[in-house]
Amino acid sequence: MPVDQIAIGVDIGGGSTKIGLVSSAGAILDRARIVASKTDDADQIVRTYANAIKRLMARNPSAVPIGIGIGFPGAIHPGNMSGTFANVPALDDTPLAERIGAVFSLPARMENDGTAAGIAEAMFGKERDSPRQLLVTAGTGIGVAFTVDGKPFVTSYGCLGNAGHVIVDPKGAERCRQGCLGCLESVASADALNAMAAGFVRTNPNSAIALHSVGLGKKADASDIIFCARHGDGAAVSMLTEAGRWIGRATATWAHIFAPSIILLGGGLSAAGDLLLKPIEQEARRCGLALYLDHARFALASLGNDAGMIGAAAQIFLNSRP
Protein backbone atom coordinates (compact mmCIF):
# COMPACT_ATOMS: atom_id res chain seq x y z
CA MET A 1 0.00 0.00 0.00
CA PRO A 2 1.46 3.43 -0.88
CA VAL A 3 2.40 5.53 2.14
CA ASP A 4 0.41 8.74 2.52
CA GLN A 5 2.24 11.98 1.84
CA ILE A 6 1.86 14.92 4.20
CA ALA A 7 1.48 18.62 3.37
CA ILE A 8 0.82 21.69 5.46
CA GLY A 9 -2.39 23.59 4.71
CA VAL A 10 -2.71 27.24 5.76
CA ASP A 11 -6.23 28.69 5.43
CA ILE A 12 -6.03 32.44 5.96
CA GLY A 13 -9.28 33.96 7.20
CA GLY A 14 -10.43 37.50 7.93
CA GLY A 15 -10.32 36.85 11.69
CA SER A 16 -8.10 33.84 12.25
CA THR A 17 -5.92 31.46 10.27
CA LYS A 18 -6.16 27.68 10.38
CA ILE A 19 -3.04 25.57 9.90
CA GLY A 20 -3.15 21.80 9.54
CA LEU A 21 -1.01 18.78 8.79
CA VAL A 22 -3.01 17.04 6.06
CA SER A 23 -2.38 13.61 4.54
CA SER A 24 -2.70 12.79 0.84
CA ALA A 25 -5.77 10.76 1.86
CA GLY A 26 -7.38 14.00 3.06
CA ALA A 27 -7.06 13.30 6.80
CA ILE A 28 -6.18 16.14 9.18
CA LEU A 29 -3.42 14.77 11.46
CA ASP A 30 -3.08 17.85 13.64
CA ARG A 31 -4.18 21.46 13.53
CA ALA A 32 -3.71 24.90 15.05
CA ARG A 33 -5.53 28.21 14.92
CA ILE A 34 -3.69 31.50 15.11
CA VAL A 35 -4.65 35.16 15.04
CA ALA A 36 -2.26 37.58 13.38
CA SER A 37 -2.78 41.16 14.44
CA LYS A 38 -4.22 43.36 11.70
CA THR A 39 -1.59 45.97 12.51
CA ASP A 40 1.31 43.54 11.98
CA ASP A 41 3.51 44.17 8.97
CA ALA A 42 4.25 41.46 6.42
CA ASP A 43 7.47 40.36 8.19
CA GLN A 44 5.62 39.84 11.47
CA ILE A 45 2.77 37.97 9.79
CA VAL A 46 5.20 35.65 7.99
CA ARG A 47 6.97 35.03 11.33
CA THR A 48 3.66 34.30 13.11
CA TYR A 49 2.65 31.76 10.44
CA ALA A 50 6.13 30.18 10.35
CA ASN A 51 6.28 29.83 14.15
CA ALA A 52 2.86 28.14 14.21
CA ILE A 53 4.00 25.72 11.49
CA LYS A 54 7.21 24.99 13.44
CA ARG A 55 5.19 24.17 16.59
CA LEU A 56 2.90 21.88 14.60
CA MET A 57 5.88 20.07 13.03
CA ALA A 58 7.61 19.75 16.43
CA ARG A 59 4.48 18.09 17.85
CA ASN A 60 4.45 15.59 14.96
CA PRO A 61 8.08 14.65 14.28
CA SER A 62 7.17 11.56 12.26
CA ALA A 63 4.95 13.53 9.84
CA VAL A 64 7.39 15.01 7.31
CA PRO A 65 5.64 17.47 4.96
CA ILE A 66 6.46 17.62 1.26
CA GLY A 67 5.22 21.19 0.85
CA ILE A 68 3.16 24.07 2.15
CA GLY A 69 -0.10 25.21 0.54
CA ILE A 70 -1.84 28.47 1.35
CA GLY A 71 -5.52 29.30 0.87
CA PHE A 72 -5.77 33.05 0.37
CA PRO A 73 -9.03 35.02 0.73
CA GLY A 74 -8.37 37.40 -2.12
CA ALA A 75 -7.16 37.82 -5.67
CA ILE A 76 -4.16 35.65 -6.59
CA HIS A 77 -1.50 37.09 -8.88
CA PRO A 78 -0.02 35.09 -11.77
CA GLY A 79 2.49 32.52 -10.51
CA ASN A 80 0.40 31.68 -7.42
CA MET A 81 2.87 33.17 -4.96
CA SER A 82 1.25 36.46 -3.91
CA GLY A 83 -2.14 38.15 -3.85
CA THR A 84 -4.26 41.11 -2.80
CA PHE A 85 -6.37 40.87 0.34
CA ALA A 86 -8.48 43.88 1.26
CA ASN A 87 -8.77 42.88 4.94
CA VAL A 88 -5.02 42.79 5.61
CA PRO A 89 -3.31 45.36 3.37
CA ALA A 90 0.12 44.34 4.75
CA LEU A 91 -0.21 41.09 2.78
CA ASP A 92 -0.84 42.85 -0.54
CA ASP A 93 1.72 41.72 -3.09
CA THR A 94 3.81 40.01 -0.38
CA PRO A 95 5.31 36.85 -1.92
CA LEU A 96 3.78 34.90 0.95
CA ALA A 97 4.14 31.39 -0.47
CA GLU A 98 7.76 32.00 -1.47
CA ARG A 99 8.70 33.48 1.91
CA ILE A 100 7.03 30.80 4.05
CA GLY A 101 8.40 28.07 1.78
CA ALA A 102 11.91 29.52 2.15
CA VAL A 103 11.75 29.31 5.97
CA PHE A 104 11.31 25.53 5.69
CA SER A 105 13.12 24.90 2.38
CA LEU A 106 9.90 23.38 1.08
CA PRO A 107 7.93 23.99 -2.11
CA ALA A 108 4.99 26.31 -1.44
CA ARG A 109 1.94 27.37 -3.44
CA MET A 110 -1.00 29.66 -2.94
CA GLU A 111 -4.57 29.38 -4.22
CA ASN A 112 -7.67 31.48 -3.69
CA ASP A 113 -9.50 29.99 -0.68
CA GLY A 114 -12.71 29.24 -2.61
CA THR A 115 -10.70 27.46 -5.29
CA ALA A 116 -8.89 25.52 -2.53
CA ALA A 117 -12.27 24.41 -1.12
CA GLY A 118 -13.25 23.20 -4.60
CA ILE A 119 -10.03 21.15 -4.87
CA ALA A 120 -10.71 19.62 -1.43
CA GLU A 121 -14.29 18.61 -2.28
CA ALA A 122 -13.17 17.18 -5.62
CA MET A 123 -10.33 15.13 -4.12
CA PHE A 124 -11.74 14.11 -0.74
CA GLY A 125 -15.43 15.04 -0.50
CA LYS A 126 -18.32 12.56 -0.51
CA GLU A 127 -18.86 13.26 -4.24
CA ARG A 128 -15.18 12.87 -5.22
CA ASP A 129 -16.08 10.34 -7.91
CA SER A 130 -17.96 13.02 -9.84
CA PRO A 131 -15.46 14.43 -12.38
CA ARG A 132 -16.75 17.94 -13.18
CA GLN A 133 -17.60 19.75 -9.96
CA LEU A 134 -19.09 23.19 -9.57
CA LEU A 135 -18.84 24.29 -5.93
CA VAL A 136 -21.10 27.19 -4.98
CA THR A 137 -19.96 28.66 -1.66
CA ALA A 138 -22.83 30.73 -0.27
CA GLY A 139 -21.66 32.70 2.74
CA THR A 140 -21.04 36.40 3.37
CA GLY A 141 -20.42 36.54 -0.36
CA ILE A 142 -21.02 33.92 -3.05
CA GLY A 143 -18.03 32.14 -4.58
CA VAL A 144 -17.93 29.61 -7.39
CA ALA A 145 -15.15 27.11 -8.08
CA PHE A 146 -15.01 24.62 -10.93
CA THR A 147 -12.74 21.56 -11.01
CA VAL A 148 -12.18 18.83 -13.58
CA ASP A 149 -10.70 15.64 -12.09
CA GLY A 150 -9.65 17.70 -9.06
CA LYS A 151 -7.81 20.35 -11.07
CA PRO A 152 -9.23 23.86 -10.74
CA PHE A 153 -10.27 25.80 -13.81
CA VAL A 154 -9.55 29.48 -13.27
CA THR A 155 -10.07 32.48 -15.51
CA SER A 156 -8.59 35.35 -13.49
CA TYR A 157 -6.98 36.09 -10.11
CA GLY A 158 -6.97 32.41 -9.11
CA CYS A 159 -10.75 32.25 -9.37
CA LEU A 160 -13.56 31.63 -11.79
CA GLY A 161 -13.62 35.39 -12.26
CA ASN A 162 -16.24 36.92 -9.98
CA ALA A 163 -18.93 34.40 -10.87
CA GLY A 164 -20.88 35.20 -7.68
CA HIS A 165 -21.53 38.61 -9.20
CA VAL A 166 -23.41 37.33 -12.22
CA ILE A 167 -26.27 39.78 -12.81
CA VAL A 168 -29.63 38.16 -12.02
CA ASP A 169 -32.01 40.95 -11.01
CA PRO A 170 -32.93 43.46 -13.72
CA LYS A 171 -34.65 45.62 -11.07
CA GLY A 172 -31.63 45.51 -8.74
CA ALA A 173 -31.40 48.87 -7.01
CA GLU A 174 -28.82 48.07 -4.32
CA ARG A 175 -25.14 47.93 -5.15
CA CYS A 176 -23.29 44.94 -3.70
CA ARG A 177 -20.17 45.38 -1.54
CA GLN A 178 -18.03 45.31 -4.65
CA GLY A 179 -20.18 47.77 -6.54
CA CYS A 180 -22.33 46.03 -9.17
CA LEU A 181 -26.10 46.35 -9.52
CA GLY A 182 -28.50 43.42 -9.31
CA CYS A 183 -25.84 40.73 -8.92
CA LEU A 184 -26.42 37.38 -7.23
CA GLU A 185 -24.49 38.42 -4.12
CA SER A 186 -26.74 41.44 -3.65
CA VAL A 187 -29.89 39.26 -3.46
CA ALA A 188 -28.88 35.83 -2.13
CA SER A 189 -25.71 35.99 0.03
CA ALA A 190 -25.67 35.91 3.85
CA ASP A 191 -25.31 39.70 3.67
CA ALA A 192 -28.52 39.87 1.62
CA LEU A 193 -30.34 37.54 4.04
CA ASN A 194 -29.07 39.60 6.98
CA ALA A 195 -30.67 42.68 5.41
CA MET A 196 -33.83 40.69 4.65
CA ALA A 197 -34.07 39.54 8.30
CA ALA A 198 -33.51 43.07 9.63
CA GLY A 199 -36.22 44.53 7.36
CA PHE A 200 -38.67 41.74 8.21
CA VAL A 201 -38.40 42.07 12.01
CA ARG A 202 -38.95 45.83 11.84
CA THR A 203 -42.46 45.23 10.51
CA ASN A 204 -42.98 41.85 12.23
CA PRO A 205 -41.69 42.32 15.80
CA ASN A 206 -43.57 39.25 17.10
CA SER A 207 -42.46 36.90 14.33
CA ALA A 208 -40.49 33.74 15.10
CA ILE A 209 -37.40 35.30 13.49
CA ALA A 210 -37.66 38.43 15.69
CA LEU A 211 -38.27 36.44 18.89
CA HIS A 212 -35.42 34.05 18.16
CA SER A 213 -32.92 36.86 17.64
CA VAL A 214 -34.14 38.73 20.75
CA GLY A 215 -33.77 35.49 22.75
CA LEU A 216 -30.11 35.38 21.71
CA GLY A 217 -29.68 39.08 22.51
CA LYS A 218 -28.62 40.06 19.00
CA LYS A 219 -29.89 41.63 15.82
CA ALA A 220 -31.86 39.36 13.48
CA ASP A 221 -29.72 37.91 10.69
CA ALA A 222 -29.36 34.98 8.30
CA SER A 223 -28.69 32.52 11.15
CA ASP A 224 -32.14 33.28 12.64
CA ILE A 225 -33.75 32.70 9.25
CA ILE A 226 -32.01 29.31 8.97
CA PHE A 227 -32.86 28.29 12.54
CA CYS A 228 -36.54 29.26 12.21
CA ALA A 229 -36.87 27.67 8.76
CA ARG A 230 -35.47 24.41 10.12
CA HIS A 231 -38.16 24.58 12.81
CA GLY A 232 -40.93 25.03 10.24
CA ASP A 233 -41.50 28.81 10.28
CA GLY A 234 -43.23 29.71 7.01
CA ALA A 235 -41.76 33.21 6.62
CA ALA A 236 -38.23 31.93 7.13
CA VAL A 237 -38.76 29.05 4.68
CA SER A 238 -40.01 31.58 2.09
CA MET A 239 -36.90 33.71 2.47
CA LEU A 240 -34.61 30.72 1.90
CA THR A 241 -36.76 29.64 -1.05
CA GLU A 242 -36.43 33.09 -2.60
CA ALA A 243 -32.65 33.13 -2.08
CA GLY A 244 -32.47 29.59 -3.49
CA ARG A 245 -34.39 30.59 -6.61
CA TRP A 246 -31.95 33.41 -7.29
CA ILE A 247 -29.00 31.06 -6.85
CA GLY A 248 -30.80 28.46 -9.02
CA ARG A 249 -31.09 30.90 -11.93
CA ALA A 250 -27.40 31.73 -11.70
CA THR A 251 -26.61 28.02 -11.40
CA ALA A 252 -28.43 27.32 -14.67
CA THR A 253 -26.19 29.89 -16.35
CA TRP A 254 -23.02 28.41 -14.84
CA ALA A 255 -24.20 24.93 -15.89
CA HIS A 256 -24.66 26.12 -19.50
CA ILE A 257 -21.03 27.27 -19.52
CA PHE A 258 -19.27 24.52 -17.55
CA ALA A 259 -21.47 21.43 -18.00
CA PRO A 260 -20.83 20.17 -14.46
CA SER A 261 -21.54 16.56 -13.47
CA ILE A 262 -22.38 17.79 -9.97
CA ILE A 263 -23.27 21.08 -8.35
CA LEU A 264 -22.25 21.28 -4.68
CA LEU A 265 -23.57 23.81 -2.20
CA GLY A 266 -21.16 24.86 0.56
CA GLY A 267 -20.52 27.89 2.78
CA GLY A 268 -22.35 29.16 5.85
CA LEU A 269 -25.80 29.23 4.21
CA SER A 270 -25.52 25.53 3.35
CA ALA A 271 -26.44 24.94 7.03
CA ALA A 272 -29.99 25.39 5.71
CA GLY A 273 -29.56 22.03 3.91
CA ASP A 274 -32.39 21.03 1.58
CA LEU A 275 -34.34 24.19 2.48
CA LEU A 276 -31.83 26.05 0.29
CA LEU A 277 -30.55 23.26 -1.96
CA LYS A 278 -33.97 22.11 -3.22
CA PRO A 279 -35.14 25.55 -4.46
CA ILE A 280 -31.74 25.98 -6.13
CA GLU A 281 -32.13 22.66 -7.93
CA GLN A 282 -35.78 23.17 -8.87
CA GLU A 283 -35.20 26.65 -10.26
CA ALA A 284 -32.05 25.64 -12.15
CA ARG A 285 -33.91 22.70 -13.75
CA ARG A 286 -36.97 24.89 -14.47
CA CYS A 287 -34.97 27.66 -16.15
CA GLY A 288 -32.00 25.83 -17.64
CA LEU A 289 -31.41 23.69 -20.69
CA ALA A 290 -32.11 19.99 -20.11
CA LEU A 291 -29.05 19.20 -22.24
CA TYR A 292 -26.88 20.53 -19.40
CA LEU A 293 -29.06 20.12 -16.30
CA ASP A 294 -30.17 16.53 -16.94
CA HIS A 295 -26.59 15.35 -16.52
CA ALA A 296 -25.96 17.33 -13.34
CA ARG A 297 -26.74 16.19 -9.82
CA PHE A 298 -27.13 18.55 -6.85
CA ALA A 299 -25.71 17.83 -3.39
CA LEU A 300 -24.42 19.52 -0.26
CA ALA A 301 -20.65 19.93 0.05
CA SER A 302 -19.29 17.56 2.69
CA LEU A 303 -16.08 19.01 4.16
CA GLY A 304 -17.58 22.05 5.90
CA ASN A 305 -15.22 24.63 7.39
CA ASP A 306 -12.20 22.40 6.88
CA ALA A 307 -12.49 22.45 3.07
CA GLY A 308 -10.25 25.52 2.72
CA MET A 309 -7.45 24.10 4.87
CA ILE A 310 -7.59 20.63 3.32
CA GLY A 311 -7.65 22.13 -0.18
CA ALA A 312 -4.75 24.47 0.63
CA ALA A 313 -2.65 21.38 1.43
CA ALA A 314 -4.14 19.37 -1.44
CA GLN A 315 -2.76 21.77 -4.09
CA ILE A 316 0.68 20.41 -3.09
CA PHE A 317 -0.44 16.80 -3.77
CA LEU A 318 -2.12 17.89 -7.01
CA ASN A 319 1.09 19.53 -8.23
CA SER A 320 3.29 16.63 -7.13
CA ARG A 321 1.31 14.13 -9.22
CA PRO A 322 3.43 12.48 -11.91
C-alpha dihedral (38, 40, 44, 46), degrees to nearest 10: 30
- As a residue count, the chain comes to 322
Residue 14 Cβ vs Zn ion, minimum distance, rounded to whole Å: 18
What character string, x for contact with Zn ion (CB under 5 A) and - otherwise, covers 136-175?
-----------------------------x----------
Q: Is 250 one of the binding residues for Zn ion (CB under 5 A)? A: no
Q: Which is nearer to Zn ion, 180 or 271 (CB)?
A: 180
Task: Candidates 183, 197, 247, 318: give the one binding Zn ion (CB under 5 A).
Answer: 183
Residue 226 Cβ vs Zn ion, minimum distance, rounded to whole Å: 23
Residue 140 Cβ vs Zn ion, minimum distance, rounded to whole Å: 13
d(CA 144, CA 123): 17
Q: Is 309 one of the binding residues for Zn ion (CB under 5 A)? A: no
Give the contacts of 87 (CB within 8 A, at least 6 positions apart).
14, 38, 73, 74
Parallel, antiparallel or unpaired: strands 108-112 and 262-266: unpaired
For the chain, the C-alpha Rg in angstroms (whole number) is: 20
Residue 246 Cβ vs Zn ion, minimum distance, rounded to whole Å: 12
The stretch among 46-54, 135-143, 185-193, 300-308 that binds Zn ion (CB under 5 A) is 185-193
What are the E-state strand segments in 246-296? 262-266
Element (H, E) at 250: helix 234-258
Task: Candidates 176, 275, 296, 313: give the one binding Zn ion (CB under 5 A).
Answer: 176
Counting residues that bind Zn ion (by CB under 5 A) gives: 6
Residue 92 Cβ vs Zn ion, minimum distance, rounded to whole Å: 22
Q: Which amino acid is at 132?
A: R
Task: Candidates 32, 148, 180, 271: give the one binding Zn ion (CB under 5 A).
Answer: 180
H-state helical runs in 76-165: 96-104, 113-124
Residue ranges binding Zn ion (CB under 5 A): 165, 176, 178, 180, 183, 185
